[in-house]
Amino acid sequence: MIEYIKGELTELTPALATIEAAGVGYGLNISLNTYTSVQGKKDVKLYVYEAIREDAHVLFGFASKREREMFLLLITVSGVGANTARMILSGMSVAELCNAISTGNSRLIQSVKGIGKMTAQRIIVDLRDKIVALGIADELPAGGSMQAPVNNAVRDEAVAALTMLGFSPAPTQKVVVAILQEQPTLHVEQVVKLALKQIK
């Protein structure tokens, strides 16, 4: 079992981080939250979950143990696989997700692509007690705004990020442009999070 990988961040996209450690390059699937945490860093440490399947050996990387713990809880819920769990953790922070679970806010969880009403309710029922028991739910969502100049680069990077997460480019661009028209000072990460809640 791999607990974590620490080394030089050689490549980074919103969905994948490549870390070189002892001459080996490890490709780790990441959430948008982890992407934001490691962006701009040279040396990083990502906690690992190994998904061993018949046709593939896939690594998922997390910037914090807390995010990995939440990921592991999510994949215990019927109907939630590893990629769906990553999508949920790209759409909201661990604190926001904990808040949604603890308050029974299934609508917020349903705002993530691919999550229906039944799955959202299962997540709440199955995990409400577990997040408290594991101490994951000891944070409340933190508000905060970042400022960035509006330009085509923000739009293009947001569309590229969403495309890598599996969305079609054309409708994605329409949503991203609409978000930037309403809130022109958003960062790429904020645009992507808003878009994830709007694209169906």
Using an 8 Å Cβ cutoff, are 150 and 185 in contact? yes
**Coil, strand, or helix at residue 54?**
coil
Q: pLDDT grade, residue 62 (50/70/90)?
A: very high
Q: Which of 66-75, 103-112, 148-157, 186-195 has the highest average model confidence (pLDDT)?
A: 66-75
Comparing CA positions, the residue from 95, 88, 25 lying closest to residue 59 is 25
pLDDT tens string 16-49: 999 999 999 999 999 999 999 999 999 999 999 9
Residue 186, pLDDT > 70, answer yes
Q: Is pTM, for the whole model, over 0.75? A: no
Dist. CA 189–CA 154, nearest whole Å: 9
For residue 147 the two structure tokens come to 């400022």
* CA distances in angstroms from 123 to 37, 67, 77, 88, 109, listed in the order given: 25, 16, 6, 11, 9
Residue 134, pLDDT > 80, answer no
pLDDT tens string 115-126: 899 999 999 999
Task: Calculate the CA 105 to chain-centre distance.
Answer: 19
Please state the rounded mean pLDDT for residues 87-104: 89
Residue 11, pLDDT > 90, answer yes
For residue 20 the two structure tokens come to 């070189």
- Kindly provide the residue ranges of all beta strands, DSSP E only, lying in the chain, ordered along the sequence: 4-12, 16-21, 24-29, 43-52, 57-62
Average pLDDT, the chain: 86
Dist. CA 99–CA 128, nearest whole Å: 10
Residue 142, pLDDT > 50, answer no
